[in-house]
């Protein structure tokens, strides 16, 4: 059993409380989904539970985390630079269980995850693998260690749809507790039986953690119903208060008028009026005290807000892309053959396929073609954000083109709409979460008024509460989108054309 008691985590740099007085018991059979907006400290909490030394450089905590001899298995959101430089074989050898398991069992696990058993022994660097292949390899090595509890930070990132379904089955069927962060709403709906919702309210000055034993869909629905009831009750109480105040004002005006007109020859009448005025004032004061106890409007951490592509207009017959390749290769390795893709007008194209099929390689080649076109203004979001982001730049510096005060003020307004605090606007990019980096790239595209978006896994780092907003923005975007994604809700709600890439070619679904 994992027990957390009265845990408070504080960010050292800006003294922001990530969680306050948080307690949790995690038992066998618990599939606990840790959700919340980008940059709220979900990964920090997971790291601290696994090994407090991982966060001591930037966070401090009080309270206790009791694992009682449990052997946790931890999947990080990102591999370190040193891990990426190792060969796949060297990486696997670091898992003690790698030497204890039979070749047949290794092959069986590889088959479940959709990669060749030969990968375990490959001299290829881990960093050169696709995003999905990295996640699969880490999961395989993690399970070889037979952990007592799984702590998974974004296990659904970048993996293909067949592996996503395998991951869902694993979380559903495994007997040990699982505590995981995921932005994949379908995965959450199909696996979670306990929700831990981390929020930062009042411009990230107040933390709130809600723990509910419920499925994800039920949690969201009940949360919205409860907020709706609370908001309606708060409005009704304030409407009644306003009516009562108006009645008091009319009575006061009437009594004051009668006091001003009462004859000095009628002292008894004046006394009665004064007495009535005191009673009215006393009743008003009692009602004001009741107002202080009225139902509060629900406090929620709003999802991201961004105006996107409002001035973009693309004609239906506009030729956006004609991409042909006899061979799609990476480092002399042929990934696919005889590829043809034509995109016209404001179509929203998604390319799907297994990990390692070459989807990101293909999108990068398309980006190289479109970014130099003069008749289009294309923007590119790569799978690896660091390809475009300088780690020591601040968000304001990344977005600035002129650098004057007027532009900086405007940029700060934009960043505020994306839920950045004033401190985060001045933090180096390397200190931002994956979701905050994704917001930054989308905001850059919005400022530049791109009419073609090239997006590699655009929704993977957005919280399940922000992702519907992002999907709606992209669905309503009036330009063309060419994307790679495994997000089932994004594919269904946003994309007009879906193509699958495999080793034989590109096929429309």
Question: Model confidence over 127-168: pLDDT tens digits?
Answer: 888 888 888 899 889 988 889 999 999 998 888 888 888 899
pLDDT classification of 101: cutoffs 50, 70, 90:
confident
* Alpha helix segments (H runs only) across 321-373: 359-370
Question: Model confidence over 181-207: pLDDT tens digits?
Answer: 998 999 999 999 999 999 888 777 788
Angle 216-261/267-292 helices, nearest 10 degrees? 170
CA dist., res. 324 & res. 318, Å (int): 18
Q: Are 47 and 55 in contact (CB under 8 A)?
A: yes
pTM of the model: 0.77
pLDDT classification of 68: cutoffs 50, 70, 90:
confident
Question: Model confidence over 310-352: pLDDT tens digits?
Answer: 677 888 888 999 999 999 998 888 999 999 999 998 999 999 9
Name the least confident of 10-24, 229-243, 324-338, 473-487: 229-243
Q: Are 502 and 354 in contact (CB under 8 A)?
A: yes
pLDDT at 404: 83
CA dist., res. 455 & res. 103, Å (int): 39
For residue 126, which of 138, 117, 109 has the smallest C-alpha distance? 138
Residue with tokens 């002399």: 332
Name the least confident of 42-56, 67-81, 255-269, 484-498: 255-269
Q: Are 126 and 83 in contact (CB under 8 A)?
A: yes
CA dist., res. 202 & res. 197, Å (int): 16
Number of Cβ within a 10 Å radius of residue 223: 18
pLDDT at 291: 64
- For the stretch 62-73, what's the b/e string if a residue is b when 16 or more beta carbons lie within 10 angstroms of its beta carbon? ebebebeeeebb
CA dist., res. 421 & res. 410, Å (int): 15
pLDDT classification of 305: cutoffs 50, 70, 90:
low
């Amino acid at each position: 059993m994992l027990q957390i008691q009265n845990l408070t985590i504080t960010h050292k740099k800006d003294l922001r409380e990530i969680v306050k007085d948080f307690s949790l018991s995690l038992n066998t059979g618990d599939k606990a989904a840790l959700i919340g907006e980008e940059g709220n400290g979900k990964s920090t909490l997971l790291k601290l539970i696994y090994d407090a030394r991982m966060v001591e450089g930037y966070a401090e905590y009080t309270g206790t985390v009791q694992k009682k001899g449990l052997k946790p298995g931890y999947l990080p959101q990102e591999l370190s630079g040193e891990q990426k430089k190792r060969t796949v074989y060297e990486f696997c050898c670091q898992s003690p269980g790698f030497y204890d398991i039979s070749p047949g069992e290794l092959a069986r696990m590889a088959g479940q995850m959709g990669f060749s058993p030969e990968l375990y022994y490959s001299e290829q660097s881990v960093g050169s693998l696709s995003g999905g292949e990295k996640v699969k390899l880490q999961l395989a090595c993690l399970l070889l260690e037979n952990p007592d509890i799984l702590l998974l930070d974004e296990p659904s990132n970048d993996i293909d749809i067949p592996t996503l379904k395998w991951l869902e089955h694993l979380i559903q069927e495994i007997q040990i507790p699982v505590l995981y962060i995921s932005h994949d709403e379908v995965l959450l709906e199909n696996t979670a039986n306990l929700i831990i919702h981390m929020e930062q309210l009042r411009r990230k000055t107040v933390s709130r953690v809600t723990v509910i034993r419920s499925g994800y869909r039920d949690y969201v629905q009940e949360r919205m119903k409860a907020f709706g009831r609370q908001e309606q009750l708060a409005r009704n109480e304030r409407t009644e208060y306003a009516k009562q105040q108006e009645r008091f004002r009319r009575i006061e005006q009437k009594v004051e008028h009668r006091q001003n007109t009462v004859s000095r020859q009628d002292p008894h009448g004046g006394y009665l009026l004064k007495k009535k005025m005191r009673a009215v004032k006393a009743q008003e004061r009692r009602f004001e005290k009741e107002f202080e106890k009225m139902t509060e409007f629900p406090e929620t951490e709003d999802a991201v807000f961004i105006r996107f592509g409002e001035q973009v207009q693309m004609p239906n017959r506009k030729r956006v892309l004609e991409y042909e390749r006899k061979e799609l290769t990476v480092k002399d390795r042929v990934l696919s053959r005889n590829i043809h893709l034509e995109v016209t007008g404001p179509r929203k194209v998604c390319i799907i396929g297994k990990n390692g099929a070459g989807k990101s390689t293909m999108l990068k080649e398309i980006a190289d073609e479109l970014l130099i076109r003069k008749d289009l203004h294309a923007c590119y979001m790569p799978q690896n954000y660091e390809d475009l982001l300088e780690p020591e730049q601040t968000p304001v510096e990344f977005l600035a083109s002129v650098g004057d005060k007027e532009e900086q003020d405007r940029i700060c307004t934009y960043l505020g709409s994306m839920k950045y605090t004033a401190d985060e606007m001045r933090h180096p990019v390397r200190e931002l979460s994956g979701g905050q980096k994704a917001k930054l790239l989308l905001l850059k595209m919005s400022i530049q008024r791109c009419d073609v978006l090239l997006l590699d896994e655009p929704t993977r780092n957005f919280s399940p509460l922000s992702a519907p907003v992002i999907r709606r923005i992209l669905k309503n975007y009036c330009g063309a989108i060419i994307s790679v994604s495994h997000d089932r809700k994004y594919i269904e709600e946003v994309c007009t054309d879906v193509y699958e890439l495999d080793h034989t070619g590109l096929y429309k679904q």
